[in-house]
A and B are shown apart, each in its own frame.
Chain A
Amino acid sequence: MNEYVIETDNLTKRFKQVTAVDGLDLRIRRGEIFGLLGPDGAGKTTTIRVLCAIMEPTEGSVRVAGFDTVRESEEIKKRIGYMPQQFSLYGDLTVLENLIFFADIFGVERGEREKRIARLLEFARMTKFKKRRAAHLSGGMQKKLALACTLIHQPQILFLDEPTTGVDPVSRREFWDILTELHLQGVTLFVSTPYMDEAERCSRVGLMFEGGLIICDAPERIKSLVEGDLLELRPDRLREAARAIGGLPGVLEVQTYGDLLHVFVDDAQRRIQTIQEVLSEAGISVRGLRQTRPRMEEAFISLIRKRIEGR
């Protein structure tokens, strides 16, 4: 018995002009919540499509639930659920009709079908809306309906492609609560997202960039990889402040976040003084200069920047 439920060797997918996925090696264990993070066009959707056996890799081999995605695709489809990035249900059908359709396509038996649908509607907190046309649901509810439809045949592995993109923060949180519940029920989850904060809720995270994995590890380990200490400050003239701090000795990296500056330094205690001095000389007033723990976001930006500079 193989302990990995998803296994790729040198997974590569080329389209006419672009190489969307470039030599990906992934090993994912049963019961993980795996987060695939990456900016637009990193190759997340392509990777998931190949894993779901609806797209053939150009090179490499892929096994999901112990089956080869090219030769045994239909076996895989019985065991997985896939929620595409775009809304892919029937807008002119009601919530209930969509659920019934997918239940029947998967051959769920009549009595069982009604029970499961009732349970899923409850689980997704959508019972009230079951008579509503899918096109008339809010973005967040459409995502929940899509999730419910992919769960109708009780898959062991669930692939979710940016399930929370375009969803308000409250619904995002609710969606992740539902995912966590599924995780506790033993479902293996493979989730792609452009939101770095969502990575914190994964057991392991892969950072994808230009078709390759930059890093793949537990969130805590990734955060600890970031070199130096992180200082956060809110200057009144952001760009000038960033320029002034950028060249100072001991400053490793400067990132901007809205009206905040994040500065990586080799030693916070030693450098905090200099930074304050330089800024006041330049006539820039600063509020709230303090040391913080790096989040996933800073870690990833830092890693991607190093990758780009390393070329």
Chain B
Amino acid sequence: MIARTITVARKELLHIVRDRRTMAVMFLIPIVQLFLLGYAATTDIEHLRTTVLDGDRTPQSRELIEAYRASNYFDIVAYVADEDELARMMDRGTVWAGLIIPAGYGADVVSGQTASVAFVIDGSDPNVANAVFAASQQVGQAQSMRIIERRLGISPDEMTALEVRSRVWYNPEMKSVNFMIPGLIAMILFTITIMLTSLAIVREREQGTIEQLMVTPIRPIELVVGKVTPYIAVAFFNVLEVLAIGVYWFGVPIHGSLGLLMALAAVFLMTSLGIGIFISSVTNTQQEAMLTVWMMLLPSIFLAGFFFPLEAMPKFLQAISYFIPLRYMLVIIRGIILKGVGIGPLADQVVPLLLFGVSILIFAATRFRKRLE
């Protein structure tokens, strides 16, 4: 039993080593994905391209512009003369935001009246727009305080009756990369293993080698376990690879136990291996398998709460998400890396994941028959 499994695993390893393209895909894709998503999938705003329409041209208006520039959120890339020009720049997407200071702003500030300015935001991407909106308000408030301070000659502390001191736990700098990286690790583990296992088994069918295997005494379980074993090793290597880049390049701190993370990753692996084996047992060609993988991959990534919080989804989608193993793993891995929690608080996630893994794996392995249709 063990001997034959090892024989199959050794053969599979030879296939991997001989196929340079697959090798490259296996080891590079996770890195590429990590860099792409690590940088791209962020809603932190910095140096946003901004234009200014200064209809006032007073020291006061210049001070306000400087306040926006100094915040680091906004880069003033152009000054325009009228609103039409501003609109054109927004249309073309050369700028994301525009600050409009009307004539008389400086006079209002000096005379103690409520001065007002307009801040235009490109709302095409609501996530970015929200962040820009908040940043524009924040800079404006601060400038407003400064004006009042000067007018009344008192410090802001003396004017405050209630202060809410927010403290951010787990990810105090609120860097979205800290949130993305753990999720990415789970996602990469999920995609790579499903893809590789489903392809590896369906390849034997496509090339007809399965027919030769069927007339040997090999048991389906020996074949399946032997074939996926090398990919389990690859998957763990990928986890370490991505973790290392996350920690050393993106500076994501790991608060919890690495051992626990690996152990639960193994549980999670069972589910994606099971899905991969299942896909390969219902498809006939590598192309079919690949299509099936993609068809289930995209919805699961969205429904598992990778990009958007589950709580924001409609109820029936939330219900579906309970059947997506990635959902549990996302909570687990974010918990361990960001919050440093142990197994206790994660029990609610680990138990369904384990049940899932064992049942999918058994189901998939028994579907594998030594018969041709």
Chain A contacts to B: CB under 8 angstroms: 49, 52-56, 73-74, 77-78, 80-82, 84, 86-93, 97, 101-102, 104-107, 149
Say yes or no: B217 contacts A88, CB within 8 Å. no
Q: Which of A53, A84, A105 interacts with B211 by CB under 8 Å?
A: A84
Q: Which of B10-18, B65-73, B79-87, B358-366 contacts A (4 or more CB under 8 A)?
A: B10-18
Q: List 30 A-B contacts (CB under 8 A).
A: A49-B372, A53-B215, A54-B211, A54-B215, A54-B372, A55-B372, A77-B216, A80-B215, A82-B211, A82-B212, A82-B215, A84-B208, A84-B211, A86-B211, A88-B209, A88-B211, A88-B212, A90-B11, A92-B15, A92-B19, A97-B11, A101-B11, A102-B212, A102-B216, A105-B8, A105-B216, A106-B217, A107-B3, A107-B4, A149-B212
Q: How far is the CA of A89 from the CA of B14 in the complex (A)?
A: 14
Q: How far is the CA of A82 from the CA of B215 in the complex (A)?
A: 7
Cβ-closest 4 pairs across A and B = A88-B212, A104-B7, A82-B215, A54-B214
Min CB distance, B153 to chain A, in Å?
83
Chain A CB within 8 A of B92 CB: no
Residues of B within 8 A of A77 (CB): 215-217
Chain A CB within 8 A of B103 CB: no
Q: How far is the CA of A245 from the CA of B140 in the complex (A)?
A: 108
Chain A CB within 8 A of B371 CB: yes
| Interfacial residues of chain B within 162-221, with CB under 8 A of chain A in the complex | 207-209, 211-218
Say yes or no: A97 contacts B217, CB within 8 Å. no
Residue of A nearest to B16 (CB): A92
Knowing that A55-B372, A105-B213 are A-B contacts, what are 13 other residue pairs whose CB atoms are under 8 Å apart, sorted by A's residue number? A54-B214, A54-B371, A74-B217, A88-B209, A89-B209, A90-B15, A92-B15, A93-B15, A97-B11, A97-B14, A102-B212, A102-B216, A105-B216
Say yes or no: A73 contacts B370, CB within 8 Å. yes
Q: How far is the CA of A74 from the CA of B214 in the complex (A)?
A: 10
User: What total count of A-B pairs have CB within 8 Å?
Assistant: 71
Q: Which of B208, B370, B372 interacts with A86 by CB under 8 Å?
A: B208
Residues of B within 8 A of A106 (CB): 216-217
Q: How far is the CA of A146 from the CA of B214 in the complex (A)?
A: 15
Q: How far is the CA of A89 from the CA of B18 in the complex (A)?
A: 15
Residues of A within 8 A of B8 (CB): 105
Chain B: interface residue count, which band? 20 to 34
Residue of A nearest to B212 (CB): A88
Q: How far is the CA of A56 from the CA of B369 in the complex (A)?
A: 12
Min CB distance, B216 to chain A, in Å?
5
Chain B contacts to A: CB under 8 angstroms: 3-4, 7-8, 11, 14-15, 18-19, 207-209, 211-218, 370-372
Q: How far is the CA of A90 from the CA of B210 in the complex (A)?
A: 10
Residues of B within 8 A of A102 (CB): 212, 216
Say yes or no: A54 contacts B370, CB within 8 Å. yes
Residues of B within 8 A of A92 (CB): 14-15, 18-19
Residue of A nearest to B7 (CB): A104
Residues of A within 8 A of B19 (CB): 92
Say yes or no: B212 contacts A55, CB within 8 Å. no
Residue of B nearest to A49 (CB): B372
Residues of A within 8 A of B14 (CB): 92-93, 97
Say yes or no: B215 contacts A90, CB within 8 Å. no
Residues of B within 8 A of A105 (CB): 4, 7-8, 213, 216-218
Min CB distance, A18 to chain B, in Å?
14
Residues of A within 8 A of B372 (CB): 49, 54-55
Min CB distance, B15 to chain A, in Å?
6
Residues of B within 8 A of A88 (CB): 207-209, 211-212
Q: How far is the CA of A168 from the CA of B217 in the complex (A)?
A: 33
Say yes or no: A56 contacts B217, CB within 8 Å. no
Would A87 and B18 be within 8 Å (CB), given that A104-B3, A105-B218, A107-B4 are in contact? Answer: no
Listed residue (B11, B14, B370) with the most chain A CB atoms within 10 angstroms of its CB:
B11
Residue of A nearest to B18 (CB): A92
